[in-house]
Amino acid sequence: MNETRKPRVATVSLAGCFGCHMAILDIDERLVGLMQAVEFDRSPLTDLKTFTRRCDIGIIEGGCCNEENVHVLQDFRRNCDVLIALGQCAIMGGLPAMRNAIMQSDAPLRECLEEAYITGAYIRNTTHQIPNDPALPLLLDRVYPCSEVVEIDYQIPGCAPGGDIIFETLSSILAGRFHGFSRDSFKFD
Amino acid sequence: MSGTGFSFTIDGVAVAAEPGQTIMEAADAAGLYIPRLCDHEGLRHQGGCRVCTVKAGGRSVSACTQPAAPDLVVENETPHLNKLRRDLVEMLFHEGNHLCPICEASGNCELQAMAYRLDMTAPTRFPYLQPSRTLDASHPDIALDTNRCISCGRCIRASQDVDRKGVFGYVGRGIHRRVAVNADDLASTDASIEDAAIAAGTCPVGCIIRKRHGFATPIGERIFDKGPIGHDIEDKRRE
Amino acid sequence: MAEPRLIEISPVTRVEGHGKVTIHLDAQNRVEEARLHIVEFRGFERFIRGRLLWEVPVIVQRLCGICPVSHHLAAAKAMDMICGVDVLPPTAEKMRRLMHYGQVMQSHGCTSSTSPRRTCCSASARRPSSATSSR
């Protein structure tokens, strides 16, 4: 292996809100050093839509709510040595998973779609249909945490995680000395 | 019993105790924190959550109900016990719908603080049950969101023993056992905001909600922003 | 070029995350139809129903991590309407205004020097007054 090769990092947002990617920017000025130490591959930060090479670290934001999310996540597992679930959505489904447990509903997904596109009080949908274009990825019955789809190596909790914990975790994983978080460093909210 | 004190050890530290004291009571007085969720000051002990499980003389017992005994050797902060406790707390997170980001109890929540204390940050293999439970906001001052209930029974004991009302009780069995009120909804009960069962701190999570108090404390000033759960007890020992 | 063709642009990178454009070309290579797809569906519209009123501004923040404040303030306005609040106290109004200016700075000022500007789902970010008008 080439000694001088920079570790490669890929990131993606699945059923997330991009808040965790924004939280990566909260690393602030330390980002400059980190950018010199690593190379970003597939990521919204580089606009690369496919993997150009195998990556060392894959950072996942968001859970899986449609088939495309699952395929992308599987692609990340295949192409990354280490997968990090970043934020509560990737870890446990997060807020979108609220639709899995809507009270008094046997078909929560259908109710969500109908509320959003047909029955909602302020909807102006001239087609009176739930969007069904073939280009749209098929929605899953539930929102799944990433760890129920592929093996996840590390998770960074938070909604969104703070810049400090992202920086500390990334740098210690890159240095090969990650041994868990300190008790007061992580939060679930 | 003559009422004479004796001593025993917790993790090798000598702890003084009175006859009739539980392991946890003696530990609290000595400034040694044993994690607990269902035990609360002023309420009778239940021994239900098992988070306070310790090894006493080699046997696993709940520290909140097990009486201390002379020369008893108790193990508390061991990797093995903390792993057991973490699994219990993790299962509680998986059993209900615990969404910390939107919960007004976040930062004041004992379940969340216990997860922090027990380092619950590794990917888990338990399934999320995601039960579908209703929220009862019928009462003018109180709301009940059983999605967040961990069945600790603290509100039940407070309502029975302190308020003498019995507003809360368990219904169902096994995994279906849940906390319910003794009427169709909370508004039809005689629950009042002044009850000990409703008091801030009785419910360890965000299940019993005192209306018009939510999100009032900014992040950074909430109870467990100031230190991990149990630090008030551990500080006694440092002084 | 006898076959009709489909050009797919996915994801659309100048908006927050989850968009896709498909352009349908006919046999003469002329654009027949262009469609913008929002591929992410989460269902906030439905699952905030049955939740407590004061939780909703916190829930809808998670619609978008780039403009959470806009969603927070929009929900706060909706809550005002539900409660029949016609006039905000001056402190609340100033606080909301300040929050929104902060959001505009964070979302636009900080990133413009290093990367091409992305827009997010809140088009109203340019008009902070809209979020604070008392309804």
| φ, ψ of residue B114 in degrees (nearest 5) | -70, -40
Please, which chains are in contact with C (at least 3 CB pairs closer than 8 A)?
A, B
Residue A184 located in a structural domain: no
Give B236's pLDDT tier (boundaries 50, 70, 90): confident
pLDDT of residue A2: 53
Task: Find out whether B155 and B197 touch, Cβ atoms under 8 Å.
Answer: yes
Q: A92 with A145: CB under 8 angstroms? A: yes
> Which pLDDT value is given to residue B62?
96
**Rounded Cα–Cα distance for residues A9 and C135 (Å):** 47
Structural domains in chain B, CATH included, are: 6-77 (3.10.20.740), 84-225 (3.30.70.20)
Share of chain B above pLDDT 70, in %: 99
Question: Which residues of chain B are within 8 Å of residue C58 when distances are taken between CB atoms?
Answer: 101-102, 215
| CA of B162 vs chain A CAs: smallest distance (Å) | 33
Residue numbers of the domain that contains A65: 8-99+141-174
At residue B157, what is the residue type? Answer: R
Output b/e per residue, A147-163; b: 16+ Cβ within 10 A. bbbbebbbbbbbbbbbb
Cβ contact, residue pair A180, B116, below 8 Å:
no
Q: CA-to-CA distance for B27 and B21, rounded, in angstroms?
A: 10
Average of pLDDT values for C42-56? 90
Query: By three-state DSSP, how is residue A180 classified?
Result: coil
The Cα–Cα gap between B142 and B138 comes to 8
C62 to chain B, any CB pair closer than 8 A? The answer is yes
Sort residue A51 into left (φ over 0), alpha (ψ -120 to 50) or beta: beta
Q: With respect to residue A136, please indicate whether it lies within any of the assigned structural domains.
A: no
Looking at residues A39-66, what average pLDDT do you find?
92
CA B70 to chain centre: 27
Residue entry with tokens 């000395």: A177
In chain A, how many domains are there?
A: 1
Judged against a pLDDT cut of 90, whether residue A138 lies above it is answered with yes
pLDDT digits (tens, 9 = 90+) for C89-129: 999 999 999 999 999 888 776 544 444 444 555 443 333 33
pLDDT digits (tens, 9 = 90+) for A68-77: 999 999 999 9
Smallest CA–CA distance from A114 into chain C, residue: C46
**SS3 readout for B118-140:** CCCCCCCCCCCCCCCCCEECCCC
Q: Comparing A172-181, B149-158, C13-22, which segment has the lowest mean pLDDT?
A: C13-22
Residues of B in contact with C50 (CB under 8 A): 134-135
In a domain, A51, yes or no: yes
In a domain, A16, yes or no: yes
| Cβ–Cβ gap C50/B215 under 8 Å | no
Whether B2 shows a pLDDT value over 60: the answer reads: no
**CATH code for position A20:** 3.40.50.700
Q: What is the least distance, in Å, from the CA of A149 to any CA of chain C? A: 18
Structural contact between residues C60 and C48, judged by C-beta atoms closer than 8 angstroms: yes
Residue C27 backbone dihedrals phi, psi, to 5 degrees: -65, -25
| B158-B164-B167 Cα angle (round to 5) | 65
- List B residues 154-213 in contact with C (Cβ-Cβ < 8 A): 209
Chain-chain contact of A113 with C41 (C-beta, under 8 angstroms): yes
- Asked whether residue A117 is assigned to any structural domain, the reply reads no
In a domain, A135, yes or no: no
The DSSP secondary structure of chain B, one letter per residue, reads -----EEEEETTEEEEE-TT-BHHHHHHHHT-----SS--TTS-----S-TTEEEETTEEEETTTSBP-TT-EEE-S-HHHHHHHHHHHHHHHHHTT--GGG-TTTTT-HHHHHHHHTT--S---SPP------EE--SSSEEEEGGG-----HHHHIIIIISS---EEEES-GGG-EEEESSSSGGGS---TTSTTTSTTTSSSSSEEETT-TT-SPTTSSGGGSS-TTHHHHHHHH-
Please give the pLDDT value at position A49: 86
Q: Are C32 and C26 in contact (CB under 8 A)?
A: yes
d(CA B107, CA B101): 10
Count how many Cα atoms sit within 13 Å of the Cα of residue C84 in the half-sphere of its side chain: 0
* pLDDT tens per residue across span B69-84: 999 999 999 999 999 9
Do the Cβ atoms of B135 and C51 come within 8 Å? Answer: yes
Residue B102 C-alpha, separation from nearest chain C C-alpha, in angstroms: 6
| Residue scoring higher pLDDT (A43 or C118) | A43
Q: What is the pLDDT of residue A1?
A: 52
* B98 vs A141: CA distance, rounded Å: 20
Which of chain B's residues have a Cβ under 8 Å away from the Cβ of A151?
123
What pLDDT is attached to residue B59? Answer: 95
Contact C60, C122 (CB under 8 A): no
- Is A181 part of any domain? no
- The nearest CA of chain A is from the CA of B149 a distance in Å of 15
The closest CB to that of A159, out of B101, B122, B124, belongs to B101
Which of residues C15 and C119 earns the better pLDDT score? C15
Cut 0.95: pTM above it: no
Preferred mutation among C42, C46, C51, C52 to probe B, highest tally of B CBs within 10 A = C52
What is the structure's pLDDT at B143? 95
